[in-house]
C-alpha cells in the first residue's frame, strides 16, 4: 500500500456513492467544485445493487408470471407457464449493471474523481482514503457523509445459512417452496408478495396489529386481501423468539398472546428495518460530528452537521430511509456548500410501497392533518369509476385527497391501486406548489387514463363529482 504523506487539496469529499452521495457529487461538480467521491462497495449503493432496483425487477417478473397464468378474463390463455428463476435473476442483474455503469459514466462525465476504497477522518478538515494499493490523504473545504444503512440484524436471528436479510433474499438461486418473514413493513410486504406470486408459501410474522405500519389502514386492508389470494398468511400481534436451522430448513419459534407456536420453512427472511452506517471506525469523533443515541447524525435544515464544514444526508440522518429523500438532500447539501440558499422541505416527500396493489402517500394523512389542527375536506374516489382501470381489469383501489377547509389548498393524498407509484407524483407537485382543488379539477386530463382519477377526486372533494354520486352533506 502506498501512503500519501502530503494532503491533496479538494473542494468537496463525498463519502458513499449511493443515490444520495453520487447525486450530491454530480451537483457539487456542476456548481464548479473539485469533487472526490469514495465508495467501498459498488457505485449506486444499496438502492441500485441490493435494494430498490433489483427488488422492482423481480417484482415485475412476478407480475409477468401471474398475468401469464390468469389472462382468461381477456380471452388470453397459456398452458404450462413456467419460471426459469436463473433467467429471472439474469434479467435482474442486467438491469442493475446498466444502472450502476450509468452512474460511473455520469460521475466521470461531470469530472468527479472516483476512489474505490474506504475513508477515515484524521481531523475536522482532513481524511485518509485507502484500499489495497494506495492511501492518499485529502484536505477538504467541505465533506458530505452519505454512507447509507444496512439491514438490522436481531440477536436471536443472526444472518447466515437459511436466515436471510433483504440482500440475500434478492439473490436466491431458486424459488423457495416456503418462506417465513419477520416484519411486515414495506420491504417484507414487497418481497413476501413477490415470492408468493412465484408460488412460495409465505408466512409474515408481524408484531403490530397490521402490516405496513404508517400507511392508511384502508390501503393496507386491500393489500392484505390480495395477499390472502396468493397464499400468504399474516400473523399479527406476534413476537418472534428464536430460530433453529439445518442445511435444508429453518424452524421459527414465536408467540401470539402468550401462546407458543412454531413454523418450519425453507428460509427465514428478517426485515425489521435498517441501521445507519455510522458505527464503523471512520473517525466521526475526530471530525467533530455529533451522533444521536440511535446512530443518526445531527444536521440542520441544509444538512450541516456539528462541524460546519461537514454535511450528512440520506439514511444516516433523521427521517425515512428513502432513496429519493437522500437524492434530494444531496442536492440541497451541494448547493448549500456552493453558497446557494437551498434548504430541505419535506412537506411533499412521497412514500411508495410496490405491493399489489401499490400504495403511495404524500403530505398529510387525514388523521395527521387533524392532529395538526387543520379543518379539512376529504374525498375518496374509487378506481372502479375509471374506464382505464376497468380496461386493465384493475378496478381495486382509490385515490384519497385532503384539503384545507378554508381555502381548498391540497395538503395530503393517498393512493392504493395500479400505478399508484406514478400517479402520486402529480399530487406531490400539487402540494409543493400550494395548488387548490380547483387547480387540479380544471386541469384537463387525457381520456382514458388512470390520471383522470386524480382530477375526479378533486371534483369529489369540491362537491361536484361526475362519475360517482356525490355523498349527502351532513346536516
Q: What CATH number has the domain bearing residue 291? A: 3.50.50.60
Which is the catalytic residue, given 70, 445, 447, 467? 447
- Which residue, of 272, 297, 317, is where some domain finishes? 272
Residues 197, 299 within the same domain: no
**Residue 91 located in a structural domain:** yes
d(CA 144, CA 233) in angstroms, rounded, equals 43
427 and 450 in a single domain? The answer is yes
| Residue 101 lies inside a defined structural domain of this protein | yes
Question: Considering the domain boundaries, does residue 351 fall inside one?
Answer: no
Q: Are residues 17 and 134 in the same domain?
A: yes
User: What global pTM score does this model have?
Assistant: 0.95
What CATH number corresponds to the domain at position 364? 3.30.390.30
Q: Do residue 98 and residue 131 come from a single domain?
A: yes
54, 145: one domain: yes
Same domain for 134 and 21:
yes
Residue 469 lies in a domain: no
Q: Decide if 471 is inside a domain.
A: no
| Residues 315 and 363 occupy one common structural domain | no
> Are 267 and 280 within one domain?
no
| Same domain (yes/no): 116, 234 | no
Range of the domain at 255: 163-272
Among 240, 272, 304, give the residue marking a domain's end: 272
Please indicate, yes or no, if residue 323 is contained in any of the structural domains: yes
Domain assignment present for residue 18? The answer is yes
pLDDT recorded at residue 475: 43
Catalytic status, residue 142: no
Question: What's the pLDDT score for residue 280?
Answer: 80
Identify the domain boundary among 231, 255, 272: 272
| Residue 342 located in a structural domain | no
Question: From first to last of its 475 residues, what are the pLDDT tens digits of the chain?
Answer: 556 567 899 999 999 999 999 999 999 999 999 999 999 999 999 999 999 999 999 999 999 999 999 999 999 999 999 999 999 999 999 999 999 999 999 999 999 999 999 999 999 999 999 999 999 999 999 999 999 999 999 999 999 999 999 999 999 999 999 999 999 999 999 999 999 999 999 999 999 999 999 899 999 999 999 999 988 999 999 999 999 999 999 999 999 999 999 999 999 999 999 999 999 889 999 999 999 999 999 999 999 999 999 999 999 999 999 999 999 999 999 999 999 999 999 999 999 999 999 999 999 999 999 999 999 999 999 999 999 999 999 999 999 999 999 999 999 999 999 999 999 999 999 999 999 999 999 999 999 999 999 999 999 999 999 999 988 765 4
Number of structural domains found in the chain? 3
289 and 264 in a common domain? no
Q: What is the pLDDT of residue 1?
A: 57
Q: Do 331 and 370 belong together in one domain?
A: no
Report the candidate in 460, 441, 453 with the shortest Cα–Cα distance to residue 390.
453
Is residue 254 located within the same domain as residue 138?
no
Amino acid at each position: 500500500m502506498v501512503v500519501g504523506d502530503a494532503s491533496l487539496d479538494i473542494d468537496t469529499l463525498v463519502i458513499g456513492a449511493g443515490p444520495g452521495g453520487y447525486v450530491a457529487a454530480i451537483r457539487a461538480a456542476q456548481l464548479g467544485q473539485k469533487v472526490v467521491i469514495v465508495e467501498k462497495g459498488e457505485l449506486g449503493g444499496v438502492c441500485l445493487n441490493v435494494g430498490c432496483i433489483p427488488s422492482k425487477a423481480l417484482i415485475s417478473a412476478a407480475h409477468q408470471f401471474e398475468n401469464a397464468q390468469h389472462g382468461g378474463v381477456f380471452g388470453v390463455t397459456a398452458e404450462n407457464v413456467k419460471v426459469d428463476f436463473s433467467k429471472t435473476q439474469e434479467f435482474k442483474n442486467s438491469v442493475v449493471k446498466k444502472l450502476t455503469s450509468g452512474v460511473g459514466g455520469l460521475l466521470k462525465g461531470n469530472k468527479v474523481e472516483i476512489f474505490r476504497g474506504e475513508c477515515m477522518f484524521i481531523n475536522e478538515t482532513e481524511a485518509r482514503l485507502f484500499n489495497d494499493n494506495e492511501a492518499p490523504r485529502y484536505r477538504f473545504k467541505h465533506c458530505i457523509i452519505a454512507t447509507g444503512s444496512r439491514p438490522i440484524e436481531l440477536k436471536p436471528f443472526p444472518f447466515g445459512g437459511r436466515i436471510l436479510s433483504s440482500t440475500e433474499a434478492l439473490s436466491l438461486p431458486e424459488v423457495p417452496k416456503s418462506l417465513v418473514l419477520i416484519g411486515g413493513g414495506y420491504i417484507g410486504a414487497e418481497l413476501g408478495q413477490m415470492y408468493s406470486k412465484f408460488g412460495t408459501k409465505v408466512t409474515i410474522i408481524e408484531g403490530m396489529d397490521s402490516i405496513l405500519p404508517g400507511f392508511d389502514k384502508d390501503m393496507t386492508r386491500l393489500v392484505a386481501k390480495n395477499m390472502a389470494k396468493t397464499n400468504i398468511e399474516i400473523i399479527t400481534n406476534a413476537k418472534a423468539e428464536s430460530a433453529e436451522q439445518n442445511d435444508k430448513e429453518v424452524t421459527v419459534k414465536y408467540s401470539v398472546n402468550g401462546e407458543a407456536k412454531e413454523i418450519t420453512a425453507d428460509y427465514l427472511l428478517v426485515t425489521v428495518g435498517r441501521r445507519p452506517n455510522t458505527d464503523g471506525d471512520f473517525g466521526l469523533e475526530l471530525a467533530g460530528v455529533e451522533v444521536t443515541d440511535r446512530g443518526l447524525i445531527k444536521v440542520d435544515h441544509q444538512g450541516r452537521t456539528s462541524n460546519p464544514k461537514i454535511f450528512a444526508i440520506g439514511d444516516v440522518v433523521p427521517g425515512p430511509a428513502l432513496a429519493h429523500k437522500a437524492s434530494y438532500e444531496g442536492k440541497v447539501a451541494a448547493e448549500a456548500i456552493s453558497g446557494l440558499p437551498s434548504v430541505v422541505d419535506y412537506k411533499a416527500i412521497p412514500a411508495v410501497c410496490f405491493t399489489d396493489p401499490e400504495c403511495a402517500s404524500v403530505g398529510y394523512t387525514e388523521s395527521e392533518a387533524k392532529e395538526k389542527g387543520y379543518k379539512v375536506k376529504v374525498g375518496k374516489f374509487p378506481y372502479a369509476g375509471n374506464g382505464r382501470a376497468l380496461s386493465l381489469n384493475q378496478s381495486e383501489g382509490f385515490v384519497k385527497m385532503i384539503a384545507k377547509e378554508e381555502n381548498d389548498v391540497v395538503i395530503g393524498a393517498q393512493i392504493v391501486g395500479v400505478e399508484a407509484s406514478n400517479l402520486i407524483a402529480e399530487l406531490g407537485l400539487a402540494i409543493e406548489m400550494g395548488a387548490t382543488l380547483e387547480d387540479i379539477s380544471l386541469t384537463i386530463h387525457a381520456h382514458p387514463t388512470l390520471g383522470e382519477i386524480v382530477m375526479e377526486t378533486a371534483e369529489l372533494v369540491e362537491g361536484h363529482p361526475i362519475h360517482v354520486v356525490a355523498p349527502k352533506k351532513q346536516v
